[in-house]
Amino acid sequence: MSARFRYGEIDLAGPLEGLRYEKQDGIAMIVLDRPEKGNSLTKKMEQILRAIWTDVRDDEGTRVAIFTSSGERHFSTGFDVTSVDESGAVANNLPLEQDVFWSPRHNGVWKPVICAVNGLAVGAGLHFVVDADLVIASENAAFMDTHVNVGMVGALENVGLARRLPLGAALRMTLMGRHYRMPARRAYELGLVDELVATPG
């Protein structure tokens, strides 16, 4: 891809921490690429994703985006709490539109976005699932929310779950934490997943 877009110090044509970004034939491919860390998210990655989604939104040649991850075990295990900076906070206590930039919805992207889920999607990793237009999942995928297990309140991801799932199913994930994993088949039956595919390999 070209280096035509920069966001602050972020050069989208250069190496990106824990992410890969490619564009070809009108398709933007965004890949979480930290399989050795469960494809977990870091604070720095949020700003990289902000730059990527801005490019997807503003590039007239991009018609659709696909969001996925490396490996087969974890789609994303959520936020890597070891990456929290000296502030000790995950968020910056600002208004939502100034503070959260993970997903296409957070960045004002209204082009079609497909989320391809392989393996376990947890916590903050659910941002990409609930804010996608279409969700395709492999049969080995599963969905879980663990905010309650780390002393956090489930918020945006959980509101998104309630938009795509019956309220009881969304609350079961929210309140039971790591004690409940919704398997891909059940997620498909309830509408969180739009299409199931065979597990690769």
- Note whether residue 140 is domain-resident: yes
- Note whether residue 1 is domain-resident: no
- Note whether residue 78 is domain-resident: yes
Tens digits of per-residue pLDDT, 32-45?
Answer: 999 999 999 998 89
Contacts 24+ apart (CB under 8 A), 178-185: 178/144, 178/146, 178/149, 180/144, 181/120, 181/142, 181/143, 181/144, 182/142, 182/143, 182/144, 183/141, 183/142, 184/117, 184/137, 184/138, 184/139, 184/140, 184/141, 184/142, 184/143, 185/139
Tens digits of per-residue pLDDT, 135-187?
Answer: 999 999 999 999 888 877 778 899 999 999 999 999 999 999 999 999 999 99
Give the residue carrying structure tokens 């491919």. 29
- Note whether residue 13 is domain-resident: yes
**pLDDT score recorded for residue 6:** 64
Residue 195 carries which side chain, given as an amino acid letter? Answer: E
Domain that holds residue 188: 6-197
Q: Whole-angstrom Cα distance, residue 68 to residue 114?
A: 9
- Note whether residue 69 is domain-resident: yes
- Note whether residue 184 is domain-resident: yes
- Note whether residue 90 is domain-resident: yes
Q: With a threshold of 0.75, does the pTM exceed it?
A: yes
Confidence of residue 2 (pLDDT cuts 50, 70, 90): very low
Task: Give the CATH number for residue 10.
Answer: 3.90.226.10
- Rounded to whole angstroms, what are the CA distances from 36 to 31, 75, 83, 138, 176? 14, 12, 15, 20, 27
Q: What is the tally of structural domains in the chain? A: 1
**pLDDT score recorded for residue 1:** 46
- Note whether residue 136 is domain-resident: yes
Tens digits of per-residue pLDDT, 106-143?
Answer: 999 999 999 999 999 999 999 999 999 999 999 999 99
